[in-house]
Chains A and B, each alone.
Chain A
Amino acid sequence: MCTMIAKQIRISGSGKGASGWFTLKEADVSYDHPFDAPFEHALNIDFVNEAQGPGARVAVELSVEAARALVETIQAVIKQAEAGGYLTEKAAVKK
């Protein structure tokens, strides 16, 4: 089914799309039909820049297990970086 389960957050960073690198402004997270992953539903993340049109998109479609593992890994890496004193204000947040 189409779950229509979707949330958007504002982000900063860069993504590499079909036409090269571009500035990311939003991340769209949904649990709904993927286009390619071989599941009925997937945890989909689209890193986008809406102002640049629908083509400014870097897409991933993950199994639920992969999505959970990714979240845990990201948290662990950030924690390790923080413990090592690497998360200076300047390095952590690019305004």
Chain B
Amino acid sequence: MYQTNMYEGVLAETITIEGFHGDRINAYFARPLGPGPFPGLVLAHHLPGWDEFYKEISFRFARHGYATLCPNLYFRAGHGTPEDVAAKVRAAGGIQDDQVVGDLEGAARYLRSLPNVNGKVGIFGTCSGGRHAYLAACRVPIFDGVVDCWGGRVVMKEEELSPNQPVAPLNYTKDLACPVLGLFGDEDQGPTPEQVNRHEEELKKYGKKYEFHRYAGAGHGFFYYHRPSYRQEQAADGWNKVFAFLEKYLS
């Protein structure tokens, strides 16, 4: 635990990594200064994009001792303000699941290649990023823990499947190779409490290690301090659970 007489420092900058199919994409890399070894953490940003919230929490995770890499999953949509680029992706119905998984795997491989990473790499995401984090953790056995914060469309109806999202992440649950932490608001419209229950049933069915926490009085995006959805009490507890989970499985 941090004490006020300790040295601390963080370096945060944009770098380039190899993503899906070897494509070069940019990523925000925030890591503690010092020899380490540090646990690694990949962040899967949310639908509103590779935005300020994700840059800020990258920095926050780094301050807590994680070499944190947040790839720009919308890199191929072109460049502009994060909102303009995210609006373009939103209009296209999101990005391809295979591409996202490839980019997140590339970020994990980058972290694992570093001499000052301790050999453990987790993945965290909110909203569509929660879904993407879960999907990647199921499809690529490269992660040591996954944090899914209110990831919608993990449970999908047949009519929701599309060329970009052809398989519900729930269907890959049997392949999940690491523990999962899930945080959900009881008032969320997606995932609904019923969908969270369905997700939990699947994890139980395959004997997966998981922790699900459901928050009364919270809906979607209750960590987002810049949005009306922010819920202080639930967010504070949720952050504590995130850090406890990461310490348990990535140290």
A interface residues (Cβ-Cβ under 8 A, vs B) = 1-4, 6, 8, 28, 30, 32-33, 35, 38, 40-41, 44, 46, 48, 50, 53-55, 57, 59
- A sample of 30 inter-chain contacts (CB < 8 A) reads A1-B127, A1-B153, A1-B188, A1-B191, A2-B94, A2-B127, A2-B131, A2-B152, A2-B153, A2-B190, A4-B153, A4-B162, A4-B164, A6-B91, A28-B87, A28-B88, A28-B91, A33-B48, A35-B48, A40-B219, A40-B229, A44-B90, A46-B91, A48-B87, A48-B88, A48-B91, A53-B78, A54-B78, A54-B84, A57-B87
Using A33-B47, A35-B48, A55-B80 as known contacts, say yes or no to A2 and B87 having CB atoms under 8 A apart: no
Residue on A with the closest CB to B221? Answer: A40
Query: By DSSP majority rule, is chain B's interface helix, strand, loop, or mixed?
Result: loop
Interface size on B, residues (CB 8 A): 38
Residues of chain A contacted by B220 (CB below 8 angstroms):
1, 40
Q: How far is the CA of A71 from the CA of B91 in the complex (A)?
A: 20
B interface residues (Cβ-Cβ under 8 A, vs A) = 47-48, 77-81, 83-88, 90-94, 127-128, 131, 150, 152-153, 160, 162, 164-165, 188-191, 219-221, 227-229
Q: Which of A1, A30, A35, A38 has most chain B Cβ within 10 Å? A: A1
Residues of chain A contacted by B85 (CB below 8 angstroms):
54
Residues of chain A contacted by B152 (CB below 8 angstroms):
1-2
Q: Which of B79, B88, B127, B229 has most chain A Cβ within 10 Å? A: B88
